[in-house]
């Protein structure tokens, strides 16, 4: 990938950032209208949407939200106070604390997630177009060597092998 940044590069990146920010602004408004702060909504969604095999611990959720451990603890405290989340001791390891969404939390999260899905159906094409512009024009993507896979892949930037002299 070239380190040259052109005027069109700035425009494509700005367009992508604009589309993402519009979605985030919608998400923040929707969370507040539902009665929670945006980060509280994000935590509920992260707990509910954890990949199979992931444990709903504070550490896991801090990583998923890209925040500090103590930030998740404060969010959990507030969500627990609101009756939307609860802490449970691990069955096998009693030192482990697992986070569970309550039925009230599910009742709040379900319509909020449906609203997000609906919004993405409308905003998605513009977001995809902005990403595609960057990938097609900026990354100069090629299929992996030796494949017929048409999915874009970044070009390999292998370092030349050291010469033995």
Q: What domains sit in the chain, N to C, each tagged with a CATH number? A: 7-138 (1.10.10.10)
Model pLDDT, residue 48: 97
Strands (E) across 16-131 are located at: 85-89, 97-101
pTM for this predicted structure: 0.77
Percent above pLDDT 70 for the chain: 81
Model pLDDT, residue 139: 56
Place of tokens 């929670």: 36
**Would you say how long the chain is, in residues?**
165
**Interval 19-61: pLDDT, tens:** 999 999 999 999 999 999 999 999 999 999 999 999 999 999 9
* Cβ–Cβ under 8 Å, residues 44 and 85: yes
Closest CA to 34 of 87, 79, 99: 79
The Cβ-side half-sphere exposure at 48, using a 13 Å CA radius, reads 20
């Amino acid at each position: 990938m070239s380190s040259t940044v052109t005027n069109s590069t700035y425009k494509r990146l700005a367009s992508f950032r604009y589309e993402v920010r519009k979605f985030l602004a919608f998400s923040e408004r929707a969370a507040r209208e539902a009665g929670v702060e945006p980060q509280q909504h994000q935590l509920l969604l992260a707990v509910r949407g954890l990949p199979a095999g992931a444990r709903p611990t504070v550490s896991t959720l801090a990583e998923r939200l890209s925040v500090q451990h103590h930030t998740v603890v404060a969010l959990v405290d507030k969500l627990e106070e609101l009756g939307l989340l609860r802490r449970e001791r691990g069955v096998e390891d009693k030192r482990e604390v697992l986070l569970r969404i309550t039925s009230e939390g599910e009742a709040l999260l379900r319509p909020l997630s449906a609203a997000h899905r609906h919004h993405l159906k409308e905003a998605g094409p513009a977001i995809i177009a902005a990403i595609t512009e960057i990938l097609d024009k900026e990354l100069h993507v090629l299929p992996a060597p030796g494949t017929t896979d048409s999915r874009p892949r970044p070009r390999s930037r292998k370092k030349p092998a050291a010469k033995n002299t």
